[in-house]
Amino acid sequence: MMTKVDAMSQRSGGIKMLRPFGFADDEQREVHAAFVAAFSDQLPFETNWFKENEDDHHMLRATFYAQRGRPGRHSLLVEAAVPHAFIRTKGSEPRELTKEDIAAGFDRVFLDQEMMHGRNPFRPEDYLALPKFPLSVEQENIKE
């Protein structure tokens, strides 16, 4: 299967453990923003909400809240949003991935997790009410 399926052969290099991104200072936010931008560039849509707002601190903060800096969680978020884009276009291939698609994907995959406090950072009313949350792995390990 590794030699016949392109997606499998691309994964033949083994597993790489990626350290979570931080969001506590300008340098960490810049690295996180670069990851989101690079990921967004690879999405199979003409446009997407992440790319359209890549310089927006609020988009980056909402995205960080959702994924807590974990690249794999970002992938899960986007993967969960895609079916909602198809629902929105009534089954036609969507040309864009919207904030509403992402919010719907978040609801389906992450909303019920305790660390989300019942808030969806991609919905304006919830974004404004986000609780204080750790902005780095180091802050996650500090007990208040």
Question: Domain for residue 10, yes or no?
Answer: no
Give the global pTM.
0.85
Question: Domain for residue 120, yes or no?
Answer: yes
Is the model's pLDDT at 44 over the cut of 70? Answer: yes
β-partners of residue 97 are: 48
Looking at the chain, the whole-number percentage of residues with pLDDT higher than 90 is: 81
Question: Domain for residue 144, yes or no?
Answer: no
Region 88-114: what's the mean pLDDT? Answer: 97
Residue 138: CA atoms inside 13 Å, Cβ hemisphere, count? Answer: 5
Question: Domain for residue 14, yes or no?
Answer: no
DSSP one-letter string for the chain: -TTT-HHHHHTTT---PPPPP--SSHHHHHHHHHHHHHHHHTSSSSEEHHHHTTT-HHHHHHHHHHHTT-HHHHHHHHHHHHHHHHHHTTTSPPSEE-HHHHHHHHHHHTTTSGGGTT--TTSHHHHTTPPP--SSHHHHT---
Question: Domain for residue 6, yes or no?
Answer: no
- Structure tokens of 134? 């750790």
Count of domains in the chain? 1
Question: Domain for residue 92, yes or no?
Answer: yes
Question: Domain for residue 124, yes or no?
Answer: yes
Q: What is the mean pLDDT of the chain?
A: 90
Is the model's pLDDT at 80 over the cut of 60? Answer: yes
Region 4-26: what's the mean pLDDT? Answer: 70
Region 88-93: what's the mean pLDDT? Answer: 95
Looking at per-residue confidence, does 12 or 101 come out higher? 101
The gap from C-alpha 37 to its chain's centroid, in whole angstroms, comes to 11
Buried b vs exposed e over 92-117: b needs ≥16 C-beta within 10 Å? eebebbbbebbbbbbeebbbeeeebe
pLDDT tens digit sequence for 45-60: 999 999 999 999 999 9
Structural domain of 119: 25-131
Is the model's pLDDT at 14 over the cut of 50? Answer: yes
Question: Domain for residue 1, yes or no?
Answer: no
